[in-house]
Amino acid sequence: MLVADSHRRSPLPLTCFVFVLLFSLAACQGQEDSRGGTEGVIRLTYWSSQNPQERAVAKLLVEQWNRENPGIQVIVQPLPAGQSSEEVLLASIVAKTTPDVCSNVWPGIVTELVRANGLVALDQFANFDSLMSSRIPADLYDRFRSPDGHYHQIPWKSNPILLQYNAGLFRELGITAPPRTYSEFLDAAKKVYLDEDEDGHPERWIGNRKIHPIWHERRFDYYAFYLAASGGTTFDLDGKFVLNESVSDQVFSLFRELWKNEYYPMTELKGDPFDRGLIATKLVGPWNIARLRENATPGLEYAFSPIPVPDDYSGPAFTYGDFKNIAVFSTTRHPEEAWRFASYLVSKEADLLLLEYATQIPIRSDILTDAFFADYFAANPMVADFAGLVPNARGVGHLRAFPEIMDALAQQFEAASVFGVISPQEGTRKAVDRIRAIEDWNQ
Amino acid sequence: MGQVINNIFARSFRSLSRGRNVSGYLMIAPYLLHLVIFLGYPLVFAFVLVFHRWDIITPMEFAGLKNLTRLIHDDLFFKALLNTGFFLSIHIPLQIITALFFADLLNKKLKGQDFFRTIYFLPVVVSGVVVAILFSQLFAFENGYINGIITALGGERVPWLVSPQWAMPSIAIIVTWKNVGFYIILFLAGMQNIPASLYEVASLEGATTWQRWTRVTIPLLNPTMVTVIVLSTIGGFSLFIEPYMLTGGGPLNSTLSAVLYIYNQAFYFNHMGYAAALGFAFACIIFTIVFLQKRFVTKDMYS
């Protein structure tokens, strides 16, 4: 009885409960302040990319903005960690924790974000047209228009994928020019192959790719080679999936040869195998130039060339462009100010910083001819090679279930190319069948 | 029935209104809240999802039985189930044999016993992600440490994680390595509960070491064995981290576990309704197997 009485009278549980409640309310209040903008100062949150170079650019830009705009203060944060920025953005849309502005939006998810009413239509703002025309020619506007007819992204940067090769090793092996065709690539692979201890397993390869059927990895090998071989034709034809099956067969066949002859390893090689001399080529975007400048082994000679194409291909070089754009999220309470800040992020000065710090290519139709960037490109001809390919870099279009479509292709890529258990033709056919089923399901 | 429920509620409200047990209710409130928010609500919500299409970001649409129809025709889900079964068929015996072996060693009065107990338990507390990274280096085909040793001894490289035949057994080895410490402790506790007099009697009767092991130790460990089998079955069904980190479900879907497949549907492709349908189907399968296991294995073991 005494115990029961003491329990009934104990104020501890009630006190704890009240404290938890008060702390929760206080936390909510804090959140309100930081987002809402009190004391007359508007506060915006800006998510930048996570890599150190882009974070440095973002920090510089935001510091300058905050100095010049005391009434609109921006807090910059790197995108929260996740498997990919796409997953993080979708999760934050669901949780309604999106920033005001984000500069790392992959166009492949813009359609999804628009469907979720997650983005602000930018063509409502007065200077939208002039800003767009400064970045892309009018005939390319369509690439950035959402299916609802509005524009929800500012074209920011395009990183065309090229073949990085070990120029010193190529010279040593008598490979006089970087491989342009599949035959040349396979010939080079044969020369690079090195089995020093003659145990039947090489210690040096022409290149490497992840063998796991992970859809986003296939953008940088299968899809890049497909675009190069198809003259830049994407899978998206007015919202419908279209595949050039003979081109797909050719790409599957090339990679099948690479793995069958052990020109590509089965294992993921740790560290940077290119820098360690284990592989002679790598599929990369211009960002790798900044990375190599800081980390490459002294004496490593490298250069870039377009992605190899089938022997019978004639036409200009095309590739996959890893586009990232800027968007304003509909959770913002200050769309006008967010738009002003987003416009500031694509000023010429900001674009030059992006080139200098991150060696990434701003989308600007006159970038190679504008005197403002001339000194930079004169001093960085490798970056100019990438910039020259931007007009021929293709994204992923506006297909609704693009990740799932790529997953279907990744599954068959694994079967037909990595393990060679089915023919390339069968791989393509199975992928198409699966994609038709996915389209039916998603209708 | 309705009257009984009304009475229960009436009693509860009366006791609450009199202030009795308020502290008790407040004490259990955090756990109760946790249970309702993190278990009850998601469970009900997931069941609702089974009959809807939902991609998380747009409003859900009623889909009737479409998710279930799709499930019945989904070859990949059945492959994932078979893969999980194959994994369990390697993992459970391997786990039991290894755990018994080491528990028996630790049960002997050997030097440094405490040290070895700690060492064997260490992998249990290490993060699964860390274990996966460690084994990705050990089991690498071209430049892995284990293949390095094998080739140094004149053997052929083993395609641990890159062959459809080897990948799932390799994953079973990794999962066993990670969890065996826990089961060693269970068996060790079971062994230490066996009266020493039984071994003395067996010795006096002239029993060999093998006979003492099979006639005394194993039969008296049966209750522990049941626990180990049930726990490893349930744990094995939730196979996810290792294939997710090491193989992505490949090669050729040979390590695609049921949980990994459900995860892919939910978080790669945003098919929340379909993933919920898969989840419920999988839960029913686990429930049935564990139920049968409890019914038959327990009965056999105790008899």
pTM (2 d.p.): 0.82
CATH 3.30.1300.10 assigned to domain B69-302? The reply is no
Task: State the smallest CA–CA distance between residue A413 and chain B in angstroms.
Answer: 10
Give the 3-state secondary structure of residue B35: helix
Res B241 pLDDT > 50: yes
Chain B residues closer than 8 Å to A412 by CB: none
- What pLDDT was estimated at residue B254? 95
Average pLDDT of the residues of chain B: 89
Res A82 pLDDT > 80: no
- What pLDDT was estimated at residue A36? 47
Which has more pLDDT, A404 or A20? A404
Which candidate in B142, B145, B265, B267 is best for mutational testing of the A interface (most A CBs within 10 A)?
Answer: B142
Contact B57 A115 (CB under 8 A): yes
The predicted model gives A179-184 an average pLDDT of 97
Measured between CB atoms, does A337 come within 8 Å of chain B? no
Dihedrals φ, ψ of A303, to 5°?
-150, 175
- What pLDDT was estimated at residue A108? 82
Task: State the smallest CA–CA distance between residue B29 and chain A in angstroms.
Answer: 9
Beta-strand relationship, A393-394 and A319-320: parallel
Q: Is the separation of the CB atoms in A46 and A100 below 8 Å?
A: yes
Give the 3-state secondary structure of residue A45: strand
Helices A52-68 and A348-358, interaxial angle, to 10°?
150
Which candidate in B165, B252, B272, B274 is best for mutational testing of the A interface (most A CBs within 10 A)?
Answer: B252
Q: Which of B23, B267, B269 sits opposite A13 (nearest CB)?
A: B23
Task: Give the residue carrying structure tokens 């300058």.
Answer: A64
Query: ipTM > 0.90?
Result: no
- What pLDDT was estimated at residue A425? 97
Domain segments of chain B: what residues?
Answer: 2-49, 69-302
**Distance (Å, rounded) from C-alpha B266 to C-alpha B55?**
8
**Distance (Å, rounded) from C-alpha A91 to C-alpha B268?**
12
Beta-strand relationship, B61-62 and A319-320: unpaired
| Model pLDDT for residues B102-129, shown as the tens digit of each residue | 999 988 877 887 888 888 899 999 999 9
| Residues A384/A387/A392/A394 CA torsion (nearest 10 deg) | 140
Q: Is the separation of the CB atoms in B172 and B91 below 8 Å?
A: yes
- What pLDDT was estimated at residue B243? 95
Which has more pLDDT, A365 or A380? A380
Contact A414 B251 (CB under 8 A): yes
**Distance (Å, rounded) from C-alpha A113 to C-alpha A105?**
10
Res B252 pLDDT > 90: yes
% of chain B at pLDDT higher than 70: 91
Hey, what domains does chain A have and what are their CATH numbers?
A: 38-152+324-362 (3.40.190.10), 162-319+398-442 (3.40.190.10)
Measured between CB atoms, does A97 come within 8 Å of chain B? no
Three-state SS for A347-374 is CHHHHHHHHHHHCCCECCCCCCCCHHHH
- What pLDDT was estimated at residue A274? 95
- What pLDDT was estimated at residue A31? 44
Res A29 pLDDT > 60: no
Dihedrals φ, ψ of A298, to 5°?
-55, 135
- What pLDDT was estimated at residue A40? 83
Measured between CB atoms, does A8 come within 8 Å of chain B? yes
Dihedrals φ, ψ of A214, to 5°?
-105, 120
- What pLDDT was estimated at residue A267? 82
% of chain A at pLDDT higher than 70: 91
Res A26 pLDDT > 60: no
| Model pLDDT for residues A282-334, shown as the tens digit of each residue | 999 999 998 898 888 899 999 999 999 999 999 999 999 988 999 999 999 99
Helices (H), B111-251: 113-125, 128-138, 145-152, 167-192, 196-204, 209-212, 218-220, 222-237, 241-246
Helices A371-379 and A348-358, interaxial angle, to 10°?
10
The predicted model gives B74-92 an average pLDDT of 95
Say how many CB pairs under 8 Å bridge A and B.
83
- What pLDDT was estimated at residue A28? 46
Res B214 pLDDT > 70: yes
Res A13 pLDDT > 60: no
The pair of structure tokens assigned to B155 is 């053997």
